[in-house]
Structure 1
Amino acid sequence: MARRPGSGMRWLLFSVSGRLSRRAYAWAMLFWTVVLAIPTSAAVQAAPDSPAMTTAGFGIIFTFLPAAWSVAVMSIKRLHDAGLPGVLVGVLVVPAASFFMLLIIMLWPSFKGPNRHGPAPDHPGY
């Protein structure tokens, strides 16, 4: 069976179009947690002012930037799936509210049937 154009890991992690189910969102968030844990654990184990600490710091920077973009676009797709406006993703940058917004994004049920953002969850949009 041929893969749909625009689907795949690049669409899942970096594209803003379409909708994303709760399950796919949770798995993708777990993926980024594991990816970010690698340079973080290297930084914790490195001696202060060592080359390993510098390398781990660059690793954190270079993994955080794509992870931050990916979490933002995945959250937008998740909000689209719930029938909510994607602009609500801005709440994720408010420290006191971000935890509660992540819970809402994770737990809010999907909009049944097609909506203006796509035909079904886990598919690219129109």
Structure 2
Amino acid sequence: MCVFRYGANGMVGPISALESYVFNAFRLNGRATRSEYVWPALAYTLLLILAGVADAMTLVAATQDGGMPPLSPLAYWSVPLFLLCMIPNFTVAIRRLHDSGKSGAWMLVMFVPMVGGIVFLILMLLPSQDRENAWGQPRGPSSDSGAPRARDHKASALDSYALLLQSEAEPSPEEVARRKQEVHEYFLRNVSRRTAS
């Protein structure tokens, strides 16, 4: 799992955004902030422009002497780039829609003639919902309190030592009773249903 670094305003840096883009390439659920969408989109656009220039140079070189342009799609840079980035582009856009509180079905707006692309771009730039929605908690520092979230806490060697000391401590009678109650409830909820059916 990737550790994301958020700035003071909740924005993800370019390296963290690209990590999220790559490591969450096959993940449709969850949320992605604006910067988690914009940084990879900018990198992809720049690479696509460079690939287009390289493809144009390939075509010019091939047809300069009256020859035929290469027919293999792998002779061009833009085709493999598109195929490589097709799934991550799709999934990060779905997660971006989730972050703004929209269903992934809003991706279909791209198929509306003439205005679909503009509406899609507006949807990608909508602000994040600052509360939990159907797809999880908001990413980054909490906007409703100044205290950082537990997942933003930097682990240290002292944390590991404290955890080790806690594991060796005897649980209190209240803790033992609470654990027994949790096991009992789990058994009633999950195990007893299976045996009854």
| TM-score category, normalised to shorter length | 0.7 to 0.9
Letter in 1 for 2:38: A
The aligned counterpart of 2:31 is 19
Q: For the residues of structure 2 that align with 1:91 and 1:8, how far apart are their CA atoms?
A: 25
The aligned counterpart of 2:49 is 37
Alignment of 1:50-65 (within 5 A): 50-51=69-70, 55-56=75-76, 59-65=77-83
CA offset digits 1:20-57 (Å, max 9, x no partner): 11122111111211222232111112223345x9611x
* 1:84 equivalenced with 2:102 (yes/no): yes
Query: In terms of Rg, which structure is larger?
Result: 2
**Bigger relative contact order, structure 1 or 2, given CA contacts below 8 A and separation 6+?**
1
CA offset digits 1:34-88 (Å, max 9, x no partner): 222232111112223345x9611xx322111232322221111111000011111
Give the TM-score, by structure 2 length.
0.50
Gap regions ≥5 residues in structure 1:
none
Gap regions ≥5 residues in structure 2:
4-18, 141-197
Give the TM-score, by structure 1 length.
0.74
SS at match of 2:35: helix
Task: Specify whether residues 69 and 98 from structure 1 end up closer, same or farther in structure 2 by C-alpha distance, changes over 3 A only.
Answer: farther
Q: For the residues of structure 1 that align with 2:23 and 2:95, how far apart are their CA atoms?
A: 11
Please provide the CA RMSD for this pair. Answer: 2.7
The answer on whether the counterparts of 1:19 and 1:118 sit within 8 Å (CA) in structure 2 is: yes
Identity of aligned residues (%): 27
- Aligned residues between the structures: 117
